[in-house]
Amino acid sequence: MRRLNACLTLLLLAPIAALSAPTSAPTSAPTSAPTSGPSSADVIAPVLAALAWRDFSATISMRVSRDGNKLKQIQLKMLDDEEGQAMRLDFERPTKLRGMKFLALARRDGIDSWAIYLRMLRRVMNVPLDGSNVMVRDMVNLGFFKPRPELLEFSDTGERVTLEGGQGCRVIAAQPKNEAARRQLGFERLTLCVDEAHRVARRTFFEAQRPIRQQTTLSFHEGPGGPLPKQIRAVDLDSGEITEVFLSAIQVNTKLPRRLFSRRAISRK
């Protein structure tokens, strides 16, 4: 599961990273301390407002490599129901993962639940949220493609950076609201470089005791529901693993049936 976890992590975090630009600067997390100013809700409100889609589906191809060597390639279908705060991943490739499905259900009160259907076991299993499965954990918790004010406290650092390509970004920091949220999220600090013109995060940094991951979106799908990530690159700063994600067959606001997002649904065809 280790590699898979990493991939899941990327997937679920991708949306936020995907709100980023085809550049690579800055390469480390801005370090400015949060300054007093607008409330957490005010800080994140413009970002949330820009993410106007309600649901989407996409085919995702993911390639994991290290030192130029391909480690894994995975293809899956993602269904995301933002209104219901639900995400579903149906694995298609490689064949040994085919039939596996992952479901994450979030609630506004922060009580989330995850489940996985393993075809090999023909069984839906509850997945612990705050095990040491850090990559999955923070991916899911961030990964409903919109920042989650119920779990995070946002603050404007006041810092501005310019990304390659010339986009100006405002740096927003986020921290878990409480210890329970911290355990669930699995990180201690998140830094978003938010494009001031488009009000979407261009780059995301994750920190535990130190920076652990950096994600950049290389291209977007521009649709009626606002920008969606199309090509993402994530670097695990510990292992050096690079995960590249490409979304295709993106469909936005198709009113995905709510019944697709249940434990029962992932156990059937």
Residues that bind other proteins (CB under 8 A): 1-3, 5, 71-73, 94-96, 98, 105, 107, 111-113, 120-123, 125-135, 183, 259, 262-264, 268-269
- Phi/psi class of residue 199: alpha, beta or left (left: φ > 0; alpha: ψ in -120 to 50)? left
Cβ nearer to other proteins, comparing 38 with 94:
94
For residue 225, what is the DSSP state? T
| 7, 10, 11, 13 alpha-carbon torsion, rounded to 10° | 150
- Structure-token pair, residue 13: 């975090």
Beta-bridge partner residues of 66 = 69
The minimum distance between CB 123 and other proteins, in angstroms, equals 5
Cβ nearer to other proteins, comparing 224 with 264:
264
d(CA 106, CA 123): 21
The minimum distance between CB 182 and other proteins, in angstroms, equals 13
The minimum distance between CB 73 and other proteins, in angstroms, equals 7
Q: Which amino acid is at 120?
A: M
For residue 95, what is the DSSP state? G
The minimum distance between CB 121 and other proteins, in angstroms, equals 6
Cβ nearer to other proteins, comparing 148 with 199:
148
Cβ nearer to other proteins, comparing 101 with 202:
101
The minimum distance between CB 59 and other proteins, in angstroms, equals 14
Cβ nearer to other proteins, comparing 128 with 165:
128
- Structure-token pair, residue 1: 């599961």
Residue 220's alpha-carbon distances to 43, 58, 132, 149, in angstroms, are: 23, 13, 32, 24
Cβ nearer to other proteins, comparing 133 with 217:
133
d(CA 259, CA 269): 13
Collapsing DSSP to helix, strand or coil, 81 comes out as strand
Cβ nearer to other proteins, comparing 123 with 160:
123
Whether 239 contacts 60, CB under 8 Å: no
Helix ranges restricted to H, the chain? 2-18, 40-50, 134-142, 179-185, 263-266
The minimum distance between CB 98 and other proteins, in angstroms, equals 6
The minimum distance between CB 245 and other proteins, in angstroms, equals 17
